[in-house]
Amino acid sequence: MRIIPAIDIIGGKCVRLSKGDYSTAKTYSEDPLEMAKSFEDHGVTHLHLVDLDGAKSKHIVNYKVLEKLATKTKLQIDFGGGLKSDQDLKIAFESGAKQITGGSIAVTSKETFLSWLHTYGSDKIILGADAIEEKIAISGWLETSREPLIPFVSQYIKDGVSHVICTDISKDGMLEGPSIALYKKMLAAVPGLQLIASGGVAQLEDLPALAAVGCEGVIVGKAIYEHKITLKQIASYILNPQAYAH
């Protein structure tokens, strides 16, 4: 299971929100590059970079941060937040993203999302399926759609998606543990799903628990910034996950 630290950007700074609420933004670093390099120094190979300004304004904003991290580290960066047009996507890939995550667009303009999938391939386009009470949320989680989570994911897997990031918004940034039961349910219901868990990771023990239910990756954010999980522990887990297995 891949360990994927998250860097969320507002105004070029590294922040975290609680439950997606912009009014709870807390700045953890003025310099995202320094943060990314410290991840890389501890054996991390992948990064989840979220343009929160972009998510709010519905077009890519912080692509210069993406470009800086992509050129100054070897991290494989998955970039999301506000990607709504072919032009946004072009800017993201030209700025160094290895993958992009499409969330709201997959609800509001399925045709656009599917055209990206067919143009770039399923290894480049990740479906962002973020949910409140198993209903998909959009627009930087500021709105809830009527789309039920599991049928939504299931249909996109049939359409050719392979990787899905699922955040249970009620857990995000709360440091109360991830939605293990929800991920178990999703993996049982949707064959072929490569599931990346996101939201709620609070301690090192959450990582083997997510691996045990079959998650392909896990995004870790606030737990790192609040020192609930140290980068040393993450380095040790990456080197020998078996030592932590349930």
Catalytic residues: 8, 130
Determine the longest span between alpha carbons in the chain, in angstroms.
45
Paired tokens of 151: 């049928």
CA atoms of 4 and 208, how far apart (whole Å): 14
Roughly how many angstroms between the first and final C-alpha of the chain, as a whole number? 14
Q: Tell me if 218 sits within 8 A of 197, measured CB to CB.
A: yes
Helices of type H across the chain: 32-41, 52-57, 63-72, 86-94, 104-108, 110-120, 149-158, 180-189, 206-213, 222-225, 231-239
Cβ–Cβ under 8 Å, residues 47 and 79: no
